[in-house]
Chains A and B, each alone.
Chain A
Amino acid sequence: AQSVTQLGSHVSVSEGALVLLRCNYSSSVPPYLFWYVQYPNQGLQLLLKYTSAATLVKGINGFEAEFKKSETSFHLTKPSAHMSDAAEYFCAVSEHTGNQFYFGTGTSLTVIP
């Protein structure tokens, strides 16, 4: 079974600062990788995904993530945090199309004005 690790269950950044949310996975085969965001009282919204094309993936709201096979990582970044980015972020991995997702425990992002 897959294992997904999100380092830091809570991350705080100042408005305008760099956002870096970490995700490492355990797959030995090239996986599909996803970042989802959950705003308060809402469902999971897809931010971006990696499906074996370009290793640097751009998503919505200015977020991007880089797939690094040698480090089995898929960290999420945003150059400048906005107050509206405050939410919980989930990294997910799937081994094949149609297979279940394995999720990390989530990272709650707080943006300080």
Chain B
Amino acid sequence: EAGVTQFPSHSVIEKGQTVTLRCDPISGHDNLYWYRRVMGKEIKFLLHFVKESKQDESGMPNNRFLAERTGGTYSTLKVQPAELEDSGVYFCASSLSETQYFGPGTRLLVL
């Protein structure tokens, strides 16, 4: 069974540009989560989808971040416009129950 996949693995952009991250969850997992780790700090929750609906988006930093999960399958996280402080590793996870399975992450560097 394929795990959670994320694309791209790395992204380097300039401040003010737009970046879109993609996450493909494990097939059949209704729950999809986005997390972010800023260098040296803890992994922090961004938001949670149940199927195509946003269940909890309390961790989204501001309105420059937009997450979608059309059709309840893969999800995208768009950052527009990117700022320097958005640099970090963005993780996606999916679950059926209490255990979340994580993807390899997207390393985003904003210059």
Which residues of A are in contact with B by a Cβ distance under 8 Å? Answer: 4, 32, 34, 36, 42-46, 49, 51, 90, 92, 94, 97-106
Contact = CB atoms under 8 A, between A and B. Distances in A.
Interface of B: 3-4, 31, 33, 35, 40-45, 48, 50, 55-56, 59, 91, 93, 95, 97-105
A87 to B, nearest CB: 14
A100 B93 CA distance: 10
A51 B42 contact: no
Nearest to A6: B42
Contacts of B104: 42-43
A27 B68 CA distance: 31
A96 B46 CA distance: 17
Contacts of B50: 98
Contacts of A106: 42-43
Contact of A102 (B45, B48, B91): B45
Given A44-B91, A98-B31, A103 B42 contact: yes
B31 A100 contact: no
A26 to B, nearest CB: 13
29 contacts: A4-B42, A34-B99, A43-B4, A43-B104, A43-B105, A44-B93, A51-B98, A90-B43, A94-B98, A97-B97, A97-B98, A98-B48, A98-B50, A98-B97, A99-B56, A100-B45, A100-B56, A101-B35, A101-B45, A101-B93, A101-B100, A102-B45, A103-B35, A103-B42, A103-B43, A103-B44, A105-B41, A105-B42, A106-B43
